Structure 1
Amino acid sequence: MSSAKQTTAVTKVMAMLQEWDKGSKGARVKILSNFVSQCSSATGPELEAEFAQAASLFLARLTAWLRLTYMVGTCLNLQLRALTIFLSSSSGHKFLAEFLEVGGVLTVLEILGLKQAKEEDKAQALRLLQSIATAGRKYKELICESYGIRAVAECLARSKSEETQDCARNLLQMLAQGNPKYEVQVYKGLIALLPSTSPKAQQMAAQTLRIVQPIVGQANPNIVEPLINLLRTLHLEVQYEAIELIKDLMKYEVQEQLLRGLVQVLIPAKEDMMRRPEILDDPDAPEMKQPLPVFVQQAAAAKVIGILVREFEDIGEKLIQLRVVHNLMVAMGNEDHADSQRQASITLEFLTSSYPVVDEHVKDAMGEALYQAFISDPEALYLSMDAVQADVLRSNKVNIPGIVELKE
């Protein structure tokens, strides 16, 4: 650049910075808007050229304004977008270092926890943090050291925006990958999200756990209870992710704990069967015919067990030793929930066709007439079953100890 052009560029930048320093909100918004529209994909060197080698002066002003105004939300989204341009620019590590030196990460993380912050502002804050995490392992560690895992996880759980939740999920996944010092902490944070009241957060947590689990290597026993409780959901997308995660965990040391839990919930506890959702006690609420969550869980557990015994050769034997046959028959006798009856019947039929000793015990427990109806059409058995037959199923005493042989 010639000296004349350089002088002109410097004069232009100094005039812009002086205008910024006057403190007019309107002027600053105009400057930021122009910057975002013109430099959205600029590299570090291009940003320096744009500001006549004084880009750091503009970045410092922008960072200071953010720290002064983020609590009240003044142009917050625009400020975050402008900062993201600096921090995500190729060959712009200088800008990243300057932002971190003044505590920029802590400021952005605090935005995630602000009740008054808009969802789109939180989403942009998460994108900014992604730009920092992309820079490498030490930057991921810095976010984690600043209690970033908790802040991002809480944002995911509380957010009402799918866009914000998706940004949070992506960031948690990034923080678990290539970050051995904190990967277990991210893993535990995802487990803590499973009992969330947000179905979308539950779905994303289970989905991300499937990615993070192989990275961590060992399964935490604390994952079992909240994962099995996910089967109570009425949201099929959540149930799907829970089932897929259960399948993945069959390779880990929590396999037996999961199998015991699945067999156990085939027979809901009496106190759970008596517990009604609070909305059903509201006299002004419309009449609802949704099944109790424990019955949804019962049907899902029967379905999962059927999937497991089909996909894993040794699972059937282990489940039989855990009295799965007895519990499946009890679920088949649940006249309050047709899907529990149907799923349990389908799974039990597969076990009877695969294990001769199961077939023998089931036939003895059911009696000839019910057994024939069961074998001929297990999926539709519940439609023709009477109260006496349902009681026979619920009262069965089937117990098959020992390991049995698969049919050839």
Structure 2
Amino acid sequence: MTSTKEQAAISRLMGFLQEWDNASKAARSHMLDNFIKANQGKTGPELELEFSQGASLFLARLTSWLRLTYMYGIYLDQQLKSIGIFLSAASRYLTEFLEIGGVLTLLEILGLNQLKEEDKRESIKLLQLIANAGRKYKELICESYGVRSIAEFLANSKSEETQEQVQILLDSLGHGNPRYQNQVYKGLIALLPCTSPKAQQLSLQTLRTVQAIVGSAHPSIVDAVLGVLSSMHLEVQYEAIQLIKDLMAYDVRPALLKGLVELLKPPGKETAKVKGKALEDPVTLHLPEPLSVYIQQAAAAKTIGILAQDSTKLAEEMIQLRVVHGLMCAMGNQDHTTCQRQASISLEYFVQTFPIVEEHVRKATGETLFQLFMRDAKTLYMKMDAVQVDILASNKVNIPGSLASPEGMLPMEEEGSTE
């Protein structure tokens, strides 16, 4: 037999559920407000005490109402926050939510254009709770094509706060999820050409973490990360350079180094048009098409300088890829002074570190221009005349052989030899 106190509690629960069943949408909204205020942060036992061991009965009603109305956005924010209280409280409620297709509902919310950004952010937070519950829950999200839905939402979101929440979710899916970690990894790579600078920045940050977990680099990352160097946003370029530095430890290193050196060479008109259109940064879409190529060229010169200073071995590899020729070509690019400046700074390191490079550069530029360069590489672009610019842009420097050390000497090419 139940005690009088227990009977009273059950009566209160039944009265509450009956009130919910008979309430209008506006009345239910008011009930949810009260529920959220009174129960935020409660544990499973505390919720059961609040609902006289019948909390699951209210959760079932909540999830049913959500599934019937989420496409219209009716009180969606309150519904999701209320469900979040249950999912945060106990795994039992999480299981009940998943059994009614909760993951698919949350993922579908992300793709509905008519819904508010705030509602979608709450959906992301619930997916975070699910993913953090363990490996099998991460697998469930991934099996439901969750990585694609989440990545597309990150690319299209207009709120930085929301995008940061999505990054947390993708990072969680990339950890402790060996069956689907490659799917997360490839999804992040696919995000790099998107139109949102913030999404690019966050994707690059997360890629660095997931790259270490995956342990091998997919070939598609080469073009993707080199393409991001064309962004006008310095925070995006910074993250791209950090990722490139990490990738030097993987099999894609030769392809990345070759790609960086190739970016130094001035493109033909047709190439410039293609690359200008390929840049999807909203700001740059309003700029002349070739400018994106020059931004990428400047970023490549900067990256080369950073890599060379980090590792003599990398510097030697790039010399064999004709980086000196490329940097001098970039220094002769009168259409973009930032490109000239970055190329000069990077070339200065190679000249100061490798005597053979100094010889070739001195020989190619002539003593007057070489002394201008050595006096102040950073401002050389402001002091050159048209003839000197043309000397740099049309240089034929090619340093064959191999370097034994920074002090070592490469065999000099015969005078007058070309590419």
Q: Provide the TM-score with structure 1 as the length reference.
A: 0.94
User: What do residues 260-294 of structure 1 show as CA deviations (whole Å, max 9, x unaligned)?
Assistant: 0000000132124356968xxxxxxxx96897011
Could you tell me which amino acid in structure 2 is paired with residue 31 of structure 1?
A: M
Residue 329 of structure 1, CA deviation: 0.4
| Distance of aligned partners of 1:277 and 1:301 in 2 relative to their CA distance in 1, 3 Å threshold | closer
Could you tell me which amino acid in structure 2 is paired with residue 185 of structure 1?
A: Q
- Structure 2, unmatched stretches of 5+, are 278-285, 409-419
Partner of 1:15: 15
Q: How many residues align?
A: 397
CA contact (8 A) 2:192 2:200 kept: yes
**RMSD between aligned residues:** 1.6
CA contact (8 A) 1:291 1:337 kept: no
CA contact (8 A) 1:87 1:96 kept: yes
CA distance in 1, matches of 2:76, 2:189: 32
Could you tell me which amino acid in structure 2 is paired with residue 207 of structure 1?
A: Q
Partner of 1:189: 187
Partner of 1:284: none
| Distance of aligned partners of 1:218 and 1:383 in 2 relative to their CA distance in 1, 3 Å threshold | same
CA distance in 2, matches of 1:71, 1:213: 36
CA contact (8 A) 1:276 1:292 kept: no
1:241 partnered with 2:239 = yes
CA distance in 2, matches of 1:16, 1:36: 15
1:261 partnered with 2:259 = yes
CA distance in 2, matches of 1:180, 1:5: 51
CA distance in 1, matches of 2:42, 2:3: 24
Partner of 2:328: 329
Give the secondary structure class of the aligned counterpart of 2:204: helix
Partner of 2:354: 355
| Distance of aligned partners of 1:276 and 1:401 in 2 relative to their CA distance in 1, 3 Å threshold | closer
Partner of 1:179: 177
CA distance in 2, matches of 1:289, 1:107: 43
Partner of 2:308: 309
Partner of 2:138: 140
Partner of 2:366: 367
Partner of 2:41: 41
Partner of 1:294: 293
Runs of 4+ in 1 over 4 A off after TM superposition: 274-278, 287-291
Percent of residue pairs bearing the same amino acid type = 59
Matches within 5 A, 1:6-405: 6-89=6-89, 92-270=90-268, 271-273=270-272, 292-404=291-403, 405=405
CA distance in 1, matches of 2:189, 2:274: 26
| Distance of aligned partners of 1:276 and 1:230 in 2 relative to their CA distance in 1, 3 Å threshold | closer
Give the secondary structure class of the aligned counterpart of 2:312: coil
CA contact (8 A) 1:88 1:132 kept: no
CA distance in 1, matches of 2:310, 2:80: 48
Residue 10 of structure 1, CA deviation: 1.4
CA distance in 1, matches of 2:288, 2:325: 28
CA contact (8 A) 2:131 2:137 kept: yes
Could you tell me which amino acid in structure 2 is paired with residue 36 of structure 1?
A: I
Could you tell me which amino acid in structure 2 is paired with residue 208 of structure 1?
A: T
Could you tell me which amino acid in structure 2 is paired with residue 17 of structure 1?
A: L
